Chain A
Amino acid sequence: NAGVTQTPKFQVLKTGQSMTLQCAQDMNHNSMYWYRQDPGMGLRLIYYSASEGTTDKGEVPNGYNVSRLNKREFSLRLESAAPSQTSVYFCASSDRTALTMVEAFFGQGTRLTVV
């Protein structure tokens, strides 16, 4: 009963390096999300994907790219990391029908430090 799994849990990057954060869910959800959490800022949406093959920008997409590889997986890529991208990153998934709006389920987070 894994839910939403994120890898890695911790990462330290040098400025300018690239990396991909992985996320997978086993709940057959259509929608997936990437958020970043910074002190005093709450959670801010980076990108989201309503269904396989679609992605949309959130509040803070600059410096990031995403790929919805299939229904289970949604990755977040930092092409050239900057110290401002030091944060905790959360992946989430949810589903909905026409009648109900369902809550999101979150991964454990990735703590990223860019030096």
Chain B
Amino acid sequence: AQSVAQPEDQVNVAEGNPLTVKCTYSVSGNPYLFWYVQYPNRGLQFLLKYITGDNLVKGSYGFEAEFNKSQTSFHLKKPSALVSDSALYFCAVRDYGGYSSASKIIFGSGTRLSIRP
């Protein structure tokens, strides 16, 4: 079964510094990976996805993620953190059951990112 792991419950970064939120995955075939962000009392918003192609994926709000097949990782990064980036971040993988089968999205446990001024 597909799964993702987010090893850090919380990440604290000073504003202006680079940030990394870690994610590792386990899949039986080609990985389809996503990052979502959740602001307080809101639903999840899509940030970026990796399907195939370049290992560095660029997304919304200046975020990017690096896909590393040998390390089975898909870490979220941003060169310069903003206080407004403070939120809960989820890594996810699509469990692809084949075109004619149902597929579902499996989420990690989430990492709370806190950016201090």
Contacts and interface: CB of A to CB of B under 8 A. Distances in A.
- Whether chain B is bound by chain A comes out as yes
Interface of A: 4, 31, 33, 35, 40-45, 48-50, 54, 56, 58, 90, 92, 94, 96, 98, 100-101, 103-109
A42 B90 contact: yes
B68 interface: no
Contacts of A54: 102
Interface in B45-90: 45-46, 49, 51, 90
Interface of A is mostly: strand
Nearest to B102: A50
Interface of B is mostly: loop
A98 B109 CA distance: 29
Contacts of A105: 46
A49 to B, nearest CB: 8
Interface of B: 6, 9, 32, 34, 36, 41-46, 49, 51, 90, 94, 96, 99, 101-110
A41 B105 contact: no
Nearest first, the 4 closest Cβ-Cβ pairs linking A and B are A50-B102, A106-B43, A42-B109, A43-B107
A22 to B, nearest CB: 15
